[in-house]
Structure 1
Amino acid sequence: MDHFTFAGYWERGDAISHAVAYLLLAMSLTSWFFILSKGWMAWRVRRSAHVVRRFWDAPTLRDGVAVVAAGDPEGIYAALAEQGTALAPGAAGASLGIAPGTSLGTSVAHAERVTRLLRDAIHRSTVRLESGLTLLASIASTAPFVGLLGTVWGIYHALAAVSSSGTVEIDKVAGPVGEALIMTGVGLMVAIPAVLAYNGFNRVNRLTLSELDAFAYDLQAYLNQDSR
C-alpha cells in the first residue's frame, strides 16, 4: 500500500501523465474560483431579495428606486427599478432623452416601450446570474474523463513495462496500476464540487429570476396604469 501514492504516479509518469495532472489542477482551481465568487454573489443576491417589498412600501417611485439601489449591492433588482424612473410619465428620462418618434425605440407606444426595456433589464440580470455556470458544468462533466485518461495511460505504461521485462510479477503490476487509479479519484474530486455548486446556483437563479419576473410584471402594470 506504500507504493500507491501520487508521488509514485508522478515519478513513473511521462509528459502525458503530467499534462493530465496539470489539467486537473487547473480545472480544480478554476472551479473553486467560480464556486467561491458565485457563492458570494448568490448570498448577496438572496440577502437583498427583501428590497422588492421595500420598494412597494416606499411613498414615491423615486424613493423606491433609492431603497432598492441601496439594498441591492449586486444590482440585480435595481436594474429593473431604475427603469421605472426612466419610464415614468413626466420623468426626465420618460422619452429616453429623445423626442417621440425620432427613433424606432420611441416610435412605439408607451406600454410596448415599458415591456421592451423591462425585458432588457431582466436579460442583463440573467446574464450576470448565469455567468460562469457553463464553465462549471463543463468541468463537472469532463473532469472524470480526464482523470480516467490518466488512469488508462498509467495502466498502459504498467502493462508495457511488464511486457518488456518478460516476467509477470504481481508487485510490479499492482503498484503502477494502483497509482494510475488515483487519477480517476482525482477527477471525481474535481467534478463532484462543481456538480453540487452548479445545481445549487441553478436553484438560486430560478428563485431569483422568478422574483424578477414578478417584480417586472407588477412594475409594468404600475407604469402603464400611471401613464393612463
Structure 2
Amino acid sequence: MKRLIIIPAYNEEQNIVNTIESIKREVKGFDYIIINDCSVDCTKEICEQNRYNIINLPINLGIGGAVQTGYLYAYENNYDVAVQVDGDGQHNPEFLETMAEYLLNHRLDMVIGSRFIEKKGFQSSITRRIGIKFFSLLIRLLTGKTITDPTSGLRMAGKRVIALFAKDYPRDYPEPESVVAILRRGYNVKEIPVVMKEREGGKSSISFRKSVYYMVKVTLALLIERIRKY
C-alpha cells in the first residue's frame, strides 16, 4: 500500500528539521511531502538545503489550503492512505504505524489521534481545552458521534476521504468542520489514544483575538454543515 505523510508548514524554520528527521528515524513504509504555505522565514531554504520533499505554494492559503494541497497530491499519485502531521513537532510519528493498522483492520475511513482518551502528554492550555470540549459536545449534538479531540491535526484518511478532501476542504481551522462533513456522509471515523508534545520552537499563530474568531467561525460552519445537502 502507498502511504503518505502530509506536513503543512508555515514559518517552521525552528521545527521542520527535527520533524522530518524524527519521521525518517521512526517511521517505515511512508512517503512524506511538506506543503510550505508561502513561509516568510527560512522554512523553504532549510527544506531545499536538506533536499526534503516539498511543495512551495506561491501564495499563503492558510492551513486548510495547505492540507488540501497535500490531499490533492495524495489523490493524484494514487495513495491508499494519507496522514496529516503538523510541522511544529507536536505530533509523535511513532503512532503512525498503529494508526495505519487500526484504519485497515477496522475498515475505517479516518482515524483521529486523540490526546484526551488516556490524557497523557501535552494536553493544551485550559482555554483551548474548554474550546475543544465545546466542539466535542457540538459535534455530538449534530452527528450523534463522540469525538474527544475534534481539533486534532493528527488524522489518517483512507482513499474515500482522500478523494473527498482533494476536491472540497474547509479553509480556516478545518479539523472540526471536516470531521462533521465525513460523519454526515456516513463515513466510519474512530479515535485512538496518542501522546502529543508541546511545540518545540516558535509560537502558535492562534492569538486570543484569533481564538474568538475561531470559536464563532467554526460554530457557524458546523451548523451550516449540518443542514448542507449532498
Short-chain TM bin: under 0.3
TM-score between the two structures when normalised by the length of structure 1: 0.25
Greater RCO, 1 or 2 (C-alpha within 8 Å, sep 6+)? 1
Higher strand proportion, which one? 2
Structure ID, larger Rg: 1
TM-score between the two structures when normalised by the length of structure 2: 0.24
